[in-house]
Amino acid sequence: MLQRMVKVQVLGPKKDLESIVDTLYQVGTIHLEDASRSHEQGGIILQKVEAKEADTIAANLSKIEGIQLVLPKKPPDLTKQTEIIQILSQKGQESILERAQEVIHELEAKTRDLITRKTDLEFTIANLSRYQTVIEKILPIEGQIPALEGFEITIILIQGEFEGILELIKEKLTRITHNQCELISAPIDEDTIATVVVFNRKYSSDVHTFLYSQNVNELRLPNEYLNRPLNEILLLNEERRVAAVKEVLEVEEELRELSLTWQDEVAVLARLLKDRHEEIKVFNKFGQTDYTFVMLGWIPRKFLDSTKKTLHERYGDSVVINELPASPEMMDEAPTFYDNPAFMKPFEYLLSAISHPKYREIDPTPIFAVFFPLFFGLIVGDIAYGFIILGIALLLKKKFGERLDWIHPLMNLMIIASFPTIIFGYIFGEFFGDFGENMGWLHPLEIMGVTWHRLDALIPMLVLSIAIGVFHIILGLSLGIINQWTKMRCTKYVCECRKHICEKAGMIIVIVSILILLGAIIQIIPEILMYPGIVMLIIALALIIYGGGVIASIEVISLISNILSYARIMAIGTSSVILALVANQFGGMMEVAIVGVIVAALIHLMNILLKMFVASLHSFRLHIVEFAPKFSEGGGKLYNPFGKGDRG
Amino acid sequence: MDFGMPIGAGIAFGLGALGAGIAMSRIGAAGAGTVAEKPELFGYMLILLAIPETLAIFGFVIAAMILIM
């Protein structure tokens, strides 16, 4: 059910605005609307409240979060954090910003220097490691590199697939250096070739410019490496690398020490500033006069008294919450607040994938909570499968429920759906397909003269599926009429709603008249009823054409198609049984018993996983494609209270 | 043995499934592009993707009726 909402106007003295906003933020029940835009003709025009502190808080929050990001993570000391929160709360809101600025002053420069040093050092280590690899590889060709006075050495790296380009580079360099260069190559790994270029130093600038312009990956060794033997360079390089690694460790240690001292306070300040920023962000939704402020919003009826009580206890009669008279036009704008029992929450989650109902519409969640498990059970319908699905859902919920948001509601959905699966499994006499029946443990039940063995009773299953479809669609259309009736209270919608009601009523009569005609044709009802059936069909078509025009009469075909679509319950259910039979027969064909059991178990497991997904998807689809459009307009805005926690 | 009925059932189901497959491939490709840009439209994409499935189900029902009735 959707919770009743009340539109409220909060009035109070402007001097207490910040404190009142803070109280409302802590209570977390009001869904705010822009009060500065709302004024009646001839009334006082309200000015927007400007939040002066917002920019300062945002800037400080960003700095604090930056520091928090740099400090290495350690397990939080919750007792210390609570103490800090208490101290800051006692001193008041201003002290949070003051303390944040002190902490920023103390830590910002220090952490920035440390992290810059660390990044530079890590970059240096990466470069030194790269030199190491290349120099080790070109060490064997050192003898070929001429040691000439006034010559410079550089190393270029070429990808193996572009080896041919070396010839072009050599040709060009020869021209630039007037034949005073030499290129010696050695492979570094499977993909890269290192080429040592020795050239006259007086052409240094031209050579480097050329290499840079051609986008050649040049490994420029540091100046102190030049004119040294490669062995010496290797040793020097390693020394520098070790020194850099040591320095990184020292920097990390310094950061760790800072984190030990400051992390908890920084975390608390980040949280408090974030809260404060959230509070202040909404200030421009408030209206003000010279001495008072006005805020508008929605509060669920069940939270109204507690909110009023809290404000009264803190501010006495200086703050007033006025309940605005609920006109249909106003209620058309009310936010949607689901207020269903806990077991229906997973269905709300599923519905949130499409669109939320408007406030005045019927909440589809309870209907969804009845029919989704029913469809799932009818499709899967196997005792063993039901228990296994229950086990898998409980296991996944326990293992991943905390870490992944979506696992929790989806597994709860599977847990609920597993019970009708077990019940229908008992009715269909299925335990791992026909395994239970073959063992003599159970048999399909006989209800209304039909033995509900799903393979033998294909036609009864088809009729049952279609009958469920007829009921479901008529229910949807009836809810649609109720929704339109409610919407009609809003005068601007009267004409439109009247037509919709006629159209939906016409659709219901079409279904009933088609059933009567079919019944008369196959003679399960007296043939004479065919004439009232025809009259009903004509009346229904007239209503539909009045409601939605000639185009709407074509909708009758899609209505029939929607009902026939419920045949999928039988069709997918049958495929599930057949796959279970295949598993049993395939397992039985194996000569070694244990192999047969394993093969059958694997196919059954595959069938279960497939059916968990397919049965959910099709049950969901029947609701959102066939059922929901018959009554739900959607497009409702969800109740989003101003506060720390989401009560919705 | 009369092969007419199984062949007829096969054609009914096969063509239904083929039609659904062609429609879903196009909707799925467009839907994947949509979801990549606007993940919040996943629910609507699922609805559009689910619509042509009915063709395959109808095919199956007709095939089953040919074989049984």
Sign of the four-CA dihedral A26, A27, A32, A37: negative
Residue A428's nearest CA partner among A383, A374, A373, A385 is A383
Closest in B47, B57, B65 to A565, CB measured: B57
Residue A180's nearest CA partner among A202, A205, A158, A165 is A202
CB contact under 8 A, B51 and A625: yes
The Cα diameter of chain B in Å comes to 56
Residue A137's nearest CA partner among A197, A190, A186 is A186
For the record, the structure tokens of A31 come out as: 């869904």
Q: Does A638 touch chain B (CB under 8 A)?
A: no
What pLDDT was estimated at residue A495? 83
**How far apart are the C-alpha atoms of A365 and A344, rounded to whole Å?**
7
In chain A, residues with a C-beta closer than 8 Å to the C-beta of B44 are: 354
Mode of pairing for the β-strands spanning A217-219 and A151-159: antiparallel
Name the A residues in 80-99 with CB < 8 Å from any B CB. none
Q: Which residues pair with A2 in a beta bridge?
A: A338
Residue B50's nearest CA partner among B20, B29, B15, B22 is B20
Q: Where are the alpha helices (DSSP H) in A220-283?
A: 230-281
Residue A536's nearest CA partner among A520, A514, A566 is A514
In chain B, residues with a C-beta closer than 8 Å to the C-beta of A618 are: 50, 53
For the record, the structure tokens of A325 come out as: 């008279």
Q: Which CATH class is domain A148-226?
A: alpha beta
Q: Does B39 touch chain A (CB under 8 A)?
A: no
Name the A residues in 518-537 with CB < 8 Å from any B CB. none
CB contact under 8 A, B43 and A561: no
Q: Which residues pair with A155 in a beta bridge?
A: A196, A219
- Cβ atoms within 10 Å, residue A410: 20
Closest in B50, B54, B68 to A458, CB measured: B68
Nearest CA in chain A to B52: A565
Quote the distance between the C-alpha of residue A286 and its chain's center.
31
CB contact under 8 A, A459 and B68: yes
On whether the CB atoms of residues A104 and A159 are closer than 8 A, the answer is no
pLDDT over 90 (residue A52): no
**How far apart are the C-alpha atoms of B25 and B30, rounded to whole Å?**
9
- pLDDT 10s digits, A418-477: 999 999 999 999 999 888 888 888 889 888 888 888 888 888 999 999 999 999 999 999
pLDDT over 90 (residue A5): no
On whether the CB atoms of residues B43 and B29 are closer than 8 A, the answer is no
**How far apart are the C-alpha atoms of A281 and A273, rounded to whole Å?**
12
In chain A, residues with a C-beta closer than 8 Å to the C-beta of B69 are: 459
Q: Which CATH class is domain A5-50+283-331?
A: alpha beta
Question: What one-character DSSP code corresponds to residue A365?
Answer: H
pLDDT over 70 (residue A492): yes
- pLDDT 10s digits, A71-99: 888 888 888 888 888 888 777 777 888 88
The domain segmentation of chain A, as residue ranges, is: 5-50+283-331, 52-137+230-280, 148-226, 426-630
Instruction: Read off the pLDDT band of A388 (50, 70, 90).
Output: very high
Question: In a mutagenesis test of the B interface, which of A557, A621, A626, A627 is the best target, namely the one with the most B β-carbons within 10 Å?
Answer: A621
Could you check whether A5-50+283-331 and A148-226 share the same CATH topology? yes
Q: Does B64 touch chain A (CB under 8 A)?
A: yes
Judged on CB neighbours under 10 Å (0-12, 13-18, 19+), A162 is: exposed
Mode of pairing for the β-strands spanning A217-219 and A192-200: unpaired
On whether the CB atoms of residues B67 and B9 are closer than 8 A, the answer is yes
- pLDDT 10s digits, A94-131: 788 888 888 898 888 889 999 999 999 999 898 888 88
On whether the CB atoms of residues A255 and A114 are closer than 8 A, the answer is yes
DSSP-based three-state secondary structure for A526: coil
In chain B, residues with a C-beta closer than 8 Å to the C-beta of A570 are: 61
pLDDT over 80 (residue A189): no
- pLDDT 10s digits, B19-54: 999 999 999 999 999 989 988 788 778 778 877 887
Q: Does A461 touch chain B (CB under 8 A)?
A: no
pLDDT over 80 (residue A141): no
On whether the CB atoms of residues A573 and A461 are closer than 8 A, the answer is yes
Q: Does domain A52-137+230-280 have CATH number 3.20.20.70?
A: no
Q: Does B41 touch chain A (CB under 8 A)?
A: no
Q: Does B58 touch chain A (CB under 8 A)?
A: yes
Lowest-pLDDT choice from A39-43, A261-265, A316-320, A594-598: A39-43
What pLDDT was estimated at residue A648? 36
- pLDDT 10s digits, A298-325: 888 888 888 888 888 888 888 888 888 8
Nearest CA in chain B to A350: B43
Give the whole-number percent of chain A exceeding pLDDT 90.
Answer: 19
Give the whole-number percent of chain A exceeding pLDDT 70.
Answer: 95
